[in-house]
Amino acid sequence: MTTAAIGSAQGEIEFGLNSFGEIATDPSGRVLSDAETVRLIIEEAELAEPVGVDSFSIGEHYRTEMMDSANQVILAAIAGRTERIRLGTSVTVLSTQDPVRLYAEAATLDAASNGRAQLILGRASSPESFPLFGFDMADYETLFEEKLDLFVKLLRDQPVSWSGTVRSALTEQYVKPAIEPGAIPTWVGVGGSPQSVVRAARYGLPLMLAIIGGRPSRFAPLVDLYRRALGELGHPALPVGEHSLGLLAATDDEARETHWPYWRRTMEKIGRERGFHPPTRSSYDADVRTGALFVGSPQSVAPRIADAIRDLGLSRFDLKYDILHLPADLRARSIELYGREVIPRVRELLAVQPEPGEVIGHV
């Protein structure tokens, strides 16, 4: 499977932005409507292209505060207003999608964007799509495994013959529009499950790590497992990426004081739903200093991203920049700082080979 970026030691790193379509506010504090938020995402992708961001990806959720459920439709709108930036999903919930329809949509987006489409496939960390589309969470593993098998076949070798338990069989079936085998970079997103890592290796697909807390380096054993599995299965080396959250501002204090109230409210809500304790300010500050929250000034955030890329041997780094009710102007400023200041600085830091034991970029 081809991909846009091959290994931090072998080629250019891809730097992307992720949106989950979270509803924003205007500078006065007015909550934007659902439609205004969809249009805002399109405008933000337009902004990301000229400031130097390589890719723009949109999630798939079915929550009242997230407007990303029809992500391929939004990406198609972005395709008509941009020329270079790659357009992808920061997650496609394959378990509750039909692989044939997904292939047709992705291939159509690829044609409309002149070859800029890419995908990240996931099992879903939130369960809302299962009852919405009539699926049983008890079939969580079977749904993803079988649908991934069919989708990979559609991407790689048509006509397709396939049979399984989760949908009707296909016999010598072509699905249009046609693409070259492997033309749409397709990653498997994982949150920390070794079984998911090995599955990605088994299908010969790049690995995207969703790292939202703790030190990114703690995922190194999973990366090692993935690379060992690729070798044992006879696959070539494939890219590894990281998806993490953050916010850029002129100073560290401004970024943290801006981001913390929104982060606290978001995590308190998720905590109530899933039964875990919300973050304290001290745990938040620890994740900002050394963990997977990339919140701060460009001068502070860039070295931490460079460290994560080195520690895990990444080929791609995606920053999720939106969070519920964050004002649109602060979202735009974060995008600009990421593209104009953070990405160039990370590239500079990665071009310097540190001596053993040396830390590059930190004061």
Task: For residue 22, give the DSSP letter.
Answer: B
Q: How confident is the model at residue 354 (pLDDT cuts 50, 70, 90)?
A: low
Residue 274, pLDDT score? 84
Residue 276, pLDDT score? 84
Is the per-residue pLDDT at 178 higher than 50? Answer: yes
Residue 179: closest CA among 247, 105, 245, 242: 105
- Which structure tokens are listed for 255? 């970024």
**223-252 per-residue burial string, b: 16 or more CB within 10 A, e: under 16:** beebbebbeeeebeebbbbbbbbbbbbeeb
> Cα(233)–Cα(219) distance, rounded to whole angstroms?
21
Tens digit of pLDDT for each residue in 71-118?
A: 999 999 999 999 999 999 999 999 999 999 999 999 999 999 999 999
Is the per-residue pLDDT at 4 higher than 50? Answer: no
Residue 206: closest CA among 188, 194, 219: 188
Residue type, 72: Q
Domain 14-351 sits in which CATH superfamily? Luciferase-like domain (3.20.20.30)
Model pTM score: 0.94
For the chain, the domains span 14-351
Q: Which residue has the tokens 């790689």?
A: 156
Q: In percent, how much of the chain has pLDDT > 90?
A: 89
Half-sphere exposure of 62 (CA within 13 A, CB side): 14
User: CA quadruple 62, 64, 69, 71: dihedral positive or negative?
Assistant: negative
120 phi and psi, to 5 degrees?
A: -120, 120
Is the per-residue pLDDT at 3 higher than 90? Answer: no
Contacting residues for 57 by C-beta, under 8 A, at least 6 apart: 16, 17, 18, 19, 87, 88, 89, 90, 118, 120, 318
How far is CA 337 from each of CA 263, 343, 345, rounded to the nearest angstrom? 20, 9, 11
The size of the chain, in residues, is 363
Is the per-residue pLDDT at 355 higher than 80? Answer: no
Is the per-residue pLDDT at 294 higher than 90? Answer: yes
Q: How far apart are the first and last CA of the chain?
A: 40
Q: How confident is the model at residue 2 (pLDDT cuts 50, 70, 90)?
A: very low
Residue 15: closest CA among 331, 275, 320: 320
> Cα(289)–Cα(283) distance, rounded to whole angstroms?
10
Sequence-ordered alpha helix ranges (H) in 65-181 = 71-79, 99-112, 129-132, 140-156
